[in-house]
Amino acid sequence: MDKSALRATLERQSVILRSIGDAVIATDSGGDVELMNPVAEALTGWKEEDARGRPLAEVFRIVNEETRAELESPVARVLREGVVVRLANHTLLLSRDGREIPITDSGAPIRDESGAITGVVLVFRDQTAEREAQARLLESGEMFRATFEQAAVGMILLSLDGGFLRANRFFMGMTGYSAHELYSMNIMDMIPPEDRAMGMDCMRQLKDGKALTCGTEKRLVRRDGSLIWVEMAASLVEEMEGVPGYFVVSAKDITGRKEAERQLRMLSVAVEQAGESIVVTDRAGNIQYVNKAFERTTGYTRQEAIGQNPRILKSGKHDEGFYRRLWKTISSGRTWQGRFVNRRKDGTLYTEDVVISPVFDESGSIVNYVAGKYDVTEHVKVEAQFQQAQKMESVGRLAGGVAHDFNNMLGVIMGYAELALSRIGQDSPVRGHLEKILSAAERSTGIIQQLLAFAKRQPAAPVVLDINKTAEGMLKMLKRLIGEDIALEWLPGPDLWKVKIDPAQVDQILVNLCVNARDAIADVGKITIETANVHLDEAYCADHPGLVPGDYAMLAVSDTGCGMDKETLEKAFEPFFTTKEVGKGTGLGLATVYGIVKQNSGFINIYSEPGQGTTIKIYLPRVGGEAAEIKEAPKAVPGGRGETVLVVEDEEAILDLAATMLERLGYRVLRARTAEKAIEIAGLHREIRLLLTDVVMPGMNGRDLAGRLSAISPGLKVLYMSGYTANVIAHHGVLDEGVKFLQKPFTLSDIALKVREAIDA
């Protein structure tokens, strides 16, 4: 090779060297800088001419990135060991102008033809960009790991068949499993068997690409066997760069929420099914919710009620002030309590006890009102009935007391009028007067009898009877009573159950009811009397306060008359209540019927509407036994045949009257004003055939007296007169069946018949 060719080659090599993109520094065999290319100049901050001849360590200063310890330049090792040396990672080049540049480099020996080392060539590269990218990468990986680890939600990675690949702390805390345990488990091991199908389905959809995510609410079995509710959301991470696909699943513990939901559901069922009506309104009072009881009570369906104002229930029974006070109370945040009379959809009224409370939000302002309403219509009715019964009771006591005394006096008036009549001649001028006295007194007796019946003080002699027979015997008389313009229909029920009642009382009931029915019919119409067997069951009685379950013979009298309005209905049973003009009504008819029915443990019901006629139903309790024969009383007035009668009566006027009448009839009479006196007399007079005694007297009563005297003289007959005294009647109410009884006041023929019958029995 000639000189010029050599120079050209060297020239060429130098150009190549300087064009290399990496930094290149060459040293001599002593390690001093011989050559630098421009990249090396740029990185180290040294100019070639400055650096030439200096030791490499001066131009190429390197430190460890982390420790900042100065590193030996690889050149020394290359010279020493004659091998290619690479720099460790994390090396920083400290440039002459103070920069720190991350680099990688390598050093290699330069050998001559003989193989002797004549220097070192150092090649290095600026790594700033790579390092930064790597740092970024590193940093982000770290971040993701930390995120996964520390997320406040359970995070798991599952293999495509459900095996656990990874689980974060939160998930482990939630389930109670350690990482170690989880990595040998499948997610299905944690799902209760009945929920597994859903889980499998979810995984399949993700795998088949049918869904991008899949979320479910699922129960998981914790390590200790307890169950938690978890909201899971899963997605598929597809296979990439040889890494198989897997599922990323987040799992949030919603047990608390589920429990709250359960409680809410429970509460809402309770509210929905409650026996009380519940209404929720917004602040303006518009209905937002009503429960079933509301629908039942008001007749409005939920659809009809929602959006309405509760004033659809207004009955008009309360004034504006009432509602204003209510609103004032609740809108000021307080609870209102009270009683409403409201109107149902069908127009009928009902009464309810109501509590209305405001509902507040977190900030304390009112958002809703809730009303709990309890229908007390029935309760109010029962209360009213109870009060009514009490009123009747006290009125009865009063009326009974007056009637009792008055009745005795009437007896005396009538008795002496009769006696006087029997003593004067047919054409005596006072005969007409006496007859007037007698007939007026007799009419008064009718009124008094009614009052006593109402007061339940009418002594009765109940027998077991068939009401059908008793009523049939009355039909002729009733037809006469109601006249020709009114038809009377008789509908006896078959095989009517027997009841125990004084037949005279059945007559009284029928007469009173038919007279009322007749009065209610303006001109033509119809009265129906019917009977039937009725069984009142528990359910029916629960709906009809005052009724007692059991078997009853029912007697009903219906008419096509004017009917009654509400006010009349409420008062109809009260004595002296009448809507009839003065002289026409006494107001005692229904009171009498009421008293009789009560005395016989029965019930009475009125069904009546203005213009719709009236039905009055009487229920008498069924008894066993055979019906008694009702004997027709003989017509003639039988006299005495000198038999001795002991008359015992504490009321002197009556004692005298009875004795005088009996003597006139041809009896021998012994008188006693007390039971003691009677016993004394009886001891002296064995010839006594009959004891006629008052039922109640001071000291010993009539029954006990009869018992004592029967012991003294067996075969003694007994006839009672009623004393009308409250005590005995109240305590016993009635006389025993079969006992002979003379009702005060009595006429001559009454006493004649009863005494004769008693002695002959």
For 324, the token pair is: 């204003």
Residue bearing tokens 């009677």: 678
- Residue 145 binds ligand ADP, judged by CB under 6 A: no
Instruction: Name the residue among 305, 314, 384, 309 with its Cα closest to residue 350.
Output: 314
Partner from Mg ion, ligand ADP, none contacting 580, C-beta within 5 to 8 A by type = ligand ADP
Q: Which residues contact 42 (CB under 8 A, 6 or more apart)?
A: 23
Contact residue for ligand ADP among 329, 579, 601, 644 (CB under 6 A):
579
Q: How many positions of this chain bind ligand ADP (CB under 6 A)?
A: 23
Q: How many helices (H) and strands (E) does the chain have?
A: 25, 30
Residue whose CB is nearest to Mg ion in the complex, by number: 589
Per-residue binder mask for ligand ADP (CB under 6 A), 599-638, x = binder: ---------------x------------------------
For 286, the token pair is: 């518009």
Residue bearing tokens 């004032």: 328
- Residue 559 binds ligand ADP, judged by CB under 6 A: yes
The residues that bridge with 694 in the sheet, in sequence order, are 721
- The Cα–Cα gap between 356 and 373 comes to 8
Helix or strand holding residue 542 (H, E)? helix 538-543
Contact residue for ligand ADP among 148, 323, 577, 607 (CB under 6 A):
577
What is the residue type of 384?
Answer: A
Comparing CB distances to ligand ADP, the nearer of 513 and 758 is 513
Contact residue for ligand ADP among 205, 255, 368, 586 (CB under 6 A):
586
- Residue 531 binds Mg ion, judged by CB under 5 A: no
- Residue 486 binds ligand ADP, judged by CB under 6 A: no
- Residue 466 binds ligand ADP, judged by CB under 6 A: no
Stretch that binds Mg ion, among 47-55, 296-304, 589-597, 634-642 (CB under 5 A): 589-597
CB of 575 to ligand ADP, least distance (A): 8
* Cα 330 to Cα 338, 367, 370, 590, distances in angstroms: 12, 12, 10, 48
Could you say which residues in the range 632-671 bind ligand ADP, by CB under 6 A?
none
Comparing CB distances to ligand ADP, the nearer of 72 and 567 is 567
- Residue 589 binds Mg ion, judged by CB under 5 A: yes
Contact residue for ligand ADP among 590, 734, 751, 758 (CB under 6 A):
590
Comparing CB distances to ligand ADP, the nearer of 95 and 528 is 528
Comparing CB distances to ligand ADP, the nearer of 87 and 588 is 588
Helix or strand holding residue 396 (H, E)? helix 377-423
CB of 561 to Mg ion, least distance (A): 12
Helix or strand holding residue 420 (H, E)? helix 377-423
Comparing CB distances to ligand ADP, the nearer of 229 and 594 is 594
- The Cα–Cα gap between 464 and 348 comes to 43
For 215, the token pair is: 């979320």
What is the residue type of 625?
Answer: G
Contact residue for ligand ADP among 106, 288, 568, 710 (CB under 6 A):
568
Partner from Mg ion, ligand ADP, none contacting 579, C-beta within 5 to 8 A by type = ligand ADP
CB of 512 to ligand ADP, least distance (A): 6
CB of 385 to Mg ion, least distance (A): 22
Partner from Mg ion, ligand ADP, none contacting 578, C-beta within 5 to 8 A by type = ligand ADP
DSSP conformation class of 127: -
Contact residue for ligand ADP among 563, 595, 640, 723 (CB under 6 A):
563
Contact residue for ligand ADP among 119, 372, 462, 589 (CB under 6 A):
589
- Residue 578 binds ligand ADP, judged by CB under 6 A: yes
Pairing of strands 741-742, 717-721: parallel
Comparing CB distances to ligand ADP, the nearer of 528 and 568 is 568
CB of 597 to ligand ADP, least distance (A): 13
Q: Which residues contact 458 (CB under 8 A, 6 or more apart)?
A: 449, 452, 505, 595, 596, 599
Instruction: Name the residue among 170, 163, 213 with its Cα closest to residue 188.
Output: 163
Instruction: Name the residue among 307, 300, 302, 303 with its Cα closest to residue 286.
Output: 307
- The Cα–Cα gap between 605 and 615 comes to 8
What is the residue type of 502?
Answer: D
| Longest Cα–Cα distance in the chain | 204
How many C-beta atoms lie closer than 10 Å to residue 560's C-beta?
Answer: 19
Comparing CB distances to ligand ADP, the nearer of 484 and 581 is 581
* Cα 744 to Cα 213, 411, 724, distances in angstroms: 102, 7, 9
Partner from Mg ion, ligand ADP, none contacting 520, C-beta within 5 to 8 A by type = ligand ADP
Residue bearing tokens 């480099």: 105
Q: What are phi and psi of 207, to 5 degrees?
A: -65, -40
CB of 297 to Mg ion, least distance (A): 38
The phi-psi region of residue 434 (left if phi > 0; otherwise alpha if psi is between -120 and 50; otherwise beta) is alpha
Comparing CB distances to ligand ADP, the nearer of 182 and 509 is 509
Burial of 6 (0-12, 13-18, 19+ CB in 10 A): exposed
Residue whose CB is nearest to ligand ADP in the complex, by number: 589
What is the residue type of 184?
Answer: S
Comparing CB distances to ligand ADP, the nearer of 564 and 647 is 564
Sign of CA dihedral 69, 75, 76, 78: positive
Stretch that binds ligand ADP, among 18-26, 137-145, 545-553, 575-583 (CB under 6 A): 575-583
Partner from ligand ADP, Mg ion, none contacting 563, C-beta within 5 to 8 A by type = ligand ADP
Helix or strand holding residue 391 (H, E)? helix 377-423
What is the residue type of 498?
Answer: K
Partner from Mg ion, ligand ADP, none contacting 413, C-beta within 5 to 8 A by type = none
CB of 475 to ligand ADP, least distance (A): 18
CB of 456 to ligand ADP, least distance (A): 16
The three-class DSSP label of residue 232 is strand
Burial of 590 (0-12, 13-18, 19+ CB in 10 A): buried
Partner from ligand ADP, Mg ion, none contacting 470, C-beta within 5 to 8 A by type = none
CB of 502 to ligand ADP, least distance (A): 20
Pairing of strands 688-694, 668-672: unpaired
Q: Which residues contact 122 (CB under 8 A, 6 or more apart)?
A: 24, 25, 26, 27, 56, 60, 73, 74, 75, 105, 106, 107
Per-residue binder mask for ligand ADP (CB under 6 A), 506-545, x = binder: ------x---xx--x-------------------------
Stretch that binds Mg ion, among 151-159, 563-571, 581-589, 660-668 (CB under 5 A): 581-589
Could you say which residues in the range 267-326 bind Mg ion, by CB under 5 A?
none
- Residue 555 binds ligand ADP, judged by CB under 6 A: no
CB of 498 to ligand ADP, least distance (A): 27
CB of 446 to Mg ion, least distance (A): 12
Measured in residues, the chain has a length of 761
Q: What are phi and psi of 65, to 5 degrees?
A: -60, -45
- Residue 123 binds ligand ADP, judged by CB under 6 A: no
Residue bearing tokens 């809410």: 264
Could you say which residues in the range 489-528 bind Mg ion, by CB under 5 A?
516
The three-class DSSP label of residue 106 is strand
Partner from Mg ion, ligand ADP, none contacting 562, C-beta within 5 to 8 A by type = ligand ADP
Q: What are phi and psi of 68, to 5 degrees?
A: 65, 15
CB of 745 to Mg ion, least distance (A): 23
The residues that touch Mg ion, with contacts defined as CB under 5 A, are 516, 589
**Binding-site ranges for ligand ADP (CB under 6 A):** 512, 516-517, 520, 559, 561-564, 568, 572, 577-580, 585-591, 614
